[in-house]
Amino acid sequence: MKAVGVIVEYNPFHNGHAFHLQAARQASEADVVIAVMSGNFLQRGEPALVSKWHRTRMALLGGVDIVFELPYRFATQKAETFANGSVSILDAAGCEFLCFGSESGDLTSFLRTIEYLEKNQVSYNVNIKSIMNTGVSYPKALSLSFQQLADSENYLDLSKPNNILGFQYIKAIKHQKSSVRPITVQRKNANYHDEHFTSETIASATSIRKALFSTENGKESIGQFIPESTYQLLKAYFNDYGVFHQWENYWKLLQFRLLQTSPEELRNIYEIEEGLENRFLAAALVSNNFKEFMEKIKTKRYTWTRLQRTCVHLLTNTKKAEMVSDTEKATYLRLLGMTKNGKEYLNKMKSQFSLPLISKLSACKQKDILPDIKASRIYSLAVPNPLKSELLSREYKQPPIYIE
DSSP state of 76: T
Q: Cβ atoms within 10 A of the Cβ of 280, count? A: 24
Known binding residue 289? Answer is: no
Known binding residue 17? Answer is: yes
Whether the CB-CB separation of 359 and 393 falls below 8 Å is answered with no
Alpha carbon distance 74, 322 (integer Å): 12
Known binding residue 9? Answer is: yes
Known binding residue 100? Answer is: no
Beta bridge partners of 339: 403
Give the three-class secondary structure for 3. Answer: strand
Known binding residue 19? Answer is: yes
Known binding residue 20? Answer is: yes
Termini Cα distance of the chain? 18
Alpha carbon distance 83, 71 (integer Å): 12
Residue 286's Cβ-count burial label (10 Å; 0-12, 13-18, 19+) is exposed
Give the three-class secondary structure for 115. Answer: helix
Amino acid identity for residue 259 in this structure: L
Known binding residue 54? Answer is: no
Alpha carbon distance 39, 43 (integer Å): 10
Backbone dihedral region for residue 7 (phi beyond 0: left; psi -120 to 50: alpha; all else: beta) = beta
Known binding residue 13? Answer is: yes
Find, among 61, 42, 60, 43, the residue nearest to 51 by Cα. 42
Beta bridge partners of 34: 5, 66
Find, among 280, 289, 346, the residue nearest to 313 by Cα. 280
Known binding residue 400? Answer is: no
Tell me the binding residues for ATP.
Answer: 7-20, 101, 162, 187
Tell me the binding residues.
Answer: 7-20, 101, 162, 187
